[in-house]
Structure formats: structure tokens, C-alpha cells
Amino acid sequence: MTHAVTIPKLGLTMEEAVVIEWGRADRARVNKGDVLITIETDKIMFDVEAEQDGYLQRVAEIGATLPVGGLAAWLHPNADFTAVGAGAGGAPTVASAAVPATATSTAAAPVAAAAASTSPAPSQQPATHPASLQAGNSASGQRLLASPVARQLAKAQNLDLASVAGSGPGGVILKRDVVAAGHSHANRPAAAVAAAAPMTVATPAGGFSRSPMSSMRKAIAQRMMQSLTSKAQMTGFGRIDMAEAVKLRESLVAAEKELGARITFTDIVIKAAATVLAGMPEINAYIDGNDIVTWHEINIGLAVAVDGGLMVPVVRNADRLNLVETSLARQVLIAKSRAGKLTREDVEGGTFTVSNFGSYGGDFETPILNAPQSALLGIGQITDEAVVRDKQIVIRPMMSISMTFDHCLIDGSVAGLFRARFKTLLEDPALFLARLR
């Protein structure tokens, strides 16, 4: 039986992936479990494996962007197969009548055969795109193909899809196209939009270079804009005297051999944040329509800088881990992030994020929420500063914090209470250690 190799859906927010590398040559014999293709999503690189033995017919080219459910290849039972082509959007088209009639796809979004040379009645017209790409009519009556997210976003923005240029395979309209069109049309009369001339940019005397954004950079740009436009974001700031926390870490570093891990301030921050969240479930939540969804797990996302962008792997059940377990989990995630080896499980399910911008010299910043999460804690560098204690000027190691939160869900007083409790834990290590598992 011929089997379609399609782009799997690796997360709730995933819409597309880029073909990075083929693991097997065209027409090569492959076995079940062999890596056929490596794809890159907005979060991870993923190896798609053969689900059965067969002979590979590659369809997608390296560098191609395919939607979830889009066709990447065929696996044929025999070496003397007749090639099957791919139509717009990655949907297959029959190249020969010799193609087995039993060819099927086991993907979540099934792939249908293309239309014959004579067009059947509308009720019999076969699909030419994956089922994940919804077809519908624009306000002007034009029939269009767009991803579900793109269609919903266009509806929310009262934007006619006929005015949006699709950048997906075969002209499919994706979310990024609607976002771009929404910004270009915002606050402008319809007539002005229709008559607007293409923007011209004067070429600098020294010239310039142009390069396409990577999938990661495009995803970051899209998600940052989506986060800012979908949540009422507010940032509160604070200062923490880290003198006692510094002593705590020094004692833990001295016991590194006995502990089996080198504890960092980031480990201490993750554990302290998880401890506070355990007592404030209203922050470990998000708004979904008219509902408030509260997570039952506390999974701390850790912003990690990598070549070309940012990854946010997740320390799971952080409130149940001690400092050593937290440190070991963090080290594994950072190593996998920088090696490009993160899995779907490593990046899914975060409920709160910590961003250590102090690692590159930052103090106060206004971090953007990692949607759908409702809060993010940024920590700055620790620096010796002159402060007043008991009416005396003394030198203390001080750390700044920035907490961004969704004001639709979290009131300023609640966010302030979180910062106060977090500050108390870091300034009183005895209390902090007493709360560790």
C-alpha cells in the first residue's frame, strides 16, 4: 500500500514547517523507523520517520515551507513504482493511472487525489489541498484557501481575505499573511488602501544586502506581535537585596561534588518562582475566550538565546523539584537548545516563563509575554550598589526584576504580591530552604 508522508502537527500552535534535510535518497529503500526528512518548526527541529518499509519518492524540495498535513513524500511498496506528483499546497496529483487506487494517508489531515481533467460537479470536486487548509469565500465572493488560524484572525480584524496575498504553498493564506496585511491596512480608509502605491526605499550609497528570515525568526516576529495585540501587558519592577542569596549559592557551589550539580542563580530563581506560583494559582493561568484556564502543573519556561533566535524549553513540575534537580534539568535543556536537539516534550506545556537578561548585562527590561501564558519574570544582573540599611550607607549585591503580566487576568495588586513573596524568599534563604522539597 502506498503511504503519504506528511508534515505532522507537533504542537497546538504549529501551522507549518520548513524542509531542512532529506535523510534518504530519492527512490531509496527505507525501513520502518528510518529518518526520512528533517523539518524545522517555529520551536524545534524534528525528524520525521518512516511508518512502514518501502521505497521513497521525494516530493518536497529542501527549503520548501509546507503546512501541517502537507505532502512531503510517498512511500511505495515496490521499487518499480510509478511516480505520484504534488499539486498546490502539497496535495498529491495522480501522475499515472498505474498509481494504486488504495493509496492512503495516515496523517491527521488526510490527503485527497487531485481533480481529473474534466471538472466534476461541486459536490464531487476532490480536494486539492490538505484538509487542514479551510476553503471559503471572501467578502467579494472569491473562493480562497487559508489556514484556520488565518481565517479566524482575518474575521476578528474584519479583513477581506481577497486583499491578502498568500505566501503558503500554492498561494495558501497563512497567519503571517493576515498579520502583515492587518498592519498595512490599520487605520487607513479602504480607498486609500486600494490606491496605495508600493513603498519605495532610497538605496544607501554603500548599498545593502537582503536575506530571508529563518523559520525561527519569522515565528518570533509573528508571536511577539500576536502577544502584544492579544493581551493587555503591563510590567512591574522591583529590586532585591541578594546578599543572603549570594552566601547561599557560595555554600552550594562549595558542595558541588557532594550535590552532583553546580547551582546557579537561575536555578534559585526558577525554584523560588515555582514556590510562589504554588500559592498563587491565579497567576499560573490564562484567558481563553470568556473562560479562565488554570493549569494544574507548574512548568517554568526558560528563555535561552541560540544562534538566530530564542528558544523557551520547559522545566516541568518545577515546584516539585529541589535545587539539584532543577539545576540538572536546566543544564540538559540548555545543552539541547544550543545543539538543536529539543523535542516536542521539551518545549510544550509551559505555564510561566523566566528570562535572565542579566546574563547579557541587562537590568530593567519590559519582556513580552510568552502567549498564552499570563506572566513572565525577567531578572537582571547582580551588581554591588550603595544602599541604606539601618540608616547607614552600605554596599550590597542588588538584582533588578521585571514582571510582565496580562492585566486582563492579573490585577496590579496580585502581581505586586507575587513580587513581594518572591523577594522575601530570595532575601531570606532560611525561609526559602524550609520550603524546598
Which residues are catalytic, by number? 407, 411
Gap between the Cα atoms of 384 and 185, Å rounded: 49
Q: How would you classify the pairing of strands 134-137 and 143-146?
A: antiparallel
Q: Who's near 214: CB < 8 A, 6+ residues apart?
A: 40, 308, 309
Gap between the Cα atoms of 372 and 269, Å rounded: 22
From residue 200, give the alpha-carbon distance in Å to each of 18, 166, 197, 203: 30, 22, 9, 9
User: Any idea what the Cα angle at residue 261 is, between residues 43 and 345, rounded to 5°?
Assistant: 25
**Inter-residue contact 313 to 333 (CB < 8 Å):** yes
Q: Who's near 156: CB < 8 A, 6+ residues apart?
A: none
H-run or E-run covering 309: strand 309-311
Gap between the Cα atoms of 309 and 34, Å rounded: 29
Alpha carbon 226 to its chain centroid, in Å, reads: 12
3-state secondary structure at position 15: coil
Give the dihedral of Cα atoms 148, 345, 350, 41; nearest 10 deg: -40
**Inter-residue contact 198 to 361 (CB < 8 Å):** no
Gap between the Cα atoms of 17 and 252, Å rounded: 43
Gap between the Cα atoms of 144 and 146, Å rounded: 7
Gap between the Cα atoms of 112 and 91, Å rounded: 7
**Inter-residue contact 327 to 255 (CB < 8 Å):** no
CA-based radius of gyration for the chain: 26
